[in-house]
Structure 1
Amino acid sequence: MNGVFSKRARYARTAVRTAAALVAAIALAGLAACQLPVHDPGGSLEVNVGSIGTQSLLPDLDMDVDSYVVSGTGPNDASSERTTTGSTIVVEELTTGPWTIDVVGYNLDGVDVASGSGETDISAGETSQLTVAVRPYEGAGTLSVSVTWPDADVSDPSIAAELVSSDGESVNLPFTISGAGQATYESADTAAGYYTLSVQVLDAGTAVAGAAEATRVAAGATTSGTIEFSSVNPPTGDTDHHD
């Protein structure tokens, strides 16, 4: 497609991955409270952390998780906190009983970008297992997109654009013609999440070029890019979805 995003190279290392691409097996442990009976050998917990991959139009915040901080609280004020970059950490003698587990994901800059939590019961002499899905924070981010095309080839330009969320909800984006062969859209109130952005260039109401991109918006960050059409179909021709 001729849609070229100016920041894509910057985020090449955040290419799309499957949700199971990063799994860290983590065993948590905490010091038993003083009330813990001496005959209780305690138990252990294995936490599987799953992260969500990024998309092609990305926020200016690095959303790749570099490390996880896994913390837990249990009976009698027992607690534990461990950091992992994907290796296995095993600690024994976790206080038996119900535990609440919180996982926070940090990028290379030490900024927390995702979190998840879960609950489980620890049994003496056994290893419990808990899967925690780590997801980006909810909230609003900024989406800023520019579209360009050969000005001489489009006499009466307009833009038809739609943003479709991962759950199928769609909203039309009102682009503004901002110059010769250029249109822009920006909103600081776009809900964080994963989307498909579809854009068409129209000439007197007829589509002459189009593109679609997977897009990710992060809370408190700006997702921006430029879709460049180096050529368009004449209004009398078929719509060309540039690749």
Structure 2
Amino acid sequence: MNYLRKPLIMIFSVFILLGLIIISCDVSGDSTSNDTYGSLQIITPVEWNPDIVSLQIIGEGPSGRNFDLTFPFSPSPIYISNIITGPWTIFVFALNADADQVLAGQQSILIEQGMTKEISINLSPLEGTGTLVIEFTWPVGAISNPVVSAFLSPYLEDDIFGVPVELLPFEYSEVEGMVVYRYEGVHEAGYYLLETQIRDDSGTPWSKSDALIITAGNEVPVTIDLETGAVNIQIILDGLDPLEVTLTSDSDSPLPLGEEMTVTSTVTGGTPPYTYRWYLNGEHLEAETGDSVVVGSTLSAGRYRLTLIASDGDVLGSEGLVIDIMP
């Protein structure tokens, strides 16, 4: 097979073994003597795209611990040691000579003391097309006359997005007492802003904005699950999200009417400086461009969803939280 002429149609595998300490790369953070450690051994296939010159390895682990390392590509194994035990998500990106990410993959693992584990991560091209699947679900009868919509905007650079495209059609079905509105479509691989919304008889929108990545040859599922009662929307993005974004607030929810809270973000990964786009119930807060935002004092009673989309100019990350305002 011609790897030189067709560098973007192959699926590669990276094999990761835990438990071997060869090269010391401390990712333990503010560890104590009670912490225990494991390690990674990363083995690349013998046959490889000659355009790939390096591998970027990002790990996101327990208690906010993380690492971001780049290694020159080589058939020899790559070892990373001093990794705190616990659940980790490992992201692997293959970079070309211009440091562009051309292949990507991820896998969740549990590092355990004294054990060696092996997992395989498939790296898929970031060029080509992938399938986006969106499902809105809720119990039958929970919402009267619902109207669902979704828009996808391609990410261009910094905090700039292209023209949003409405995703149609949504097919309706009922499965085991649950309403399901389902969209499935093929899109160019890349980063996107996904905006989803549901309206009922009252006209009240439940909206959410998130960063999303579509990789070539893969299916990216997005599930929007509405529960009865408070009607909370949870969007689960199984696509890659290389920037790690966390949000913290100085007040608890629910918030008394007329009071305010400050929400502060922490962004790791990528290459600073970052740009920030805040959304409240899907509406872009254009005046808010910093790493924190103050909300609440002008809001009426109800449920709100605050979302931050951060960028370093090349990749995106997003996080959100629900804010309830008491009557």
Identify the TM-score tier after normalising by the shorter chain. 0.3 to 0.5
Q: Which has the higher contact order (CA 8 A, sep 6+)?
A: 1
Flag the structure with larger Rg: 1
Q: Which has the higher strand share?
A: 2
TM-score by length of 2: 0.34
Q: Which has the higher helix share?
A: 1
TM-score by length of 1: 0.44
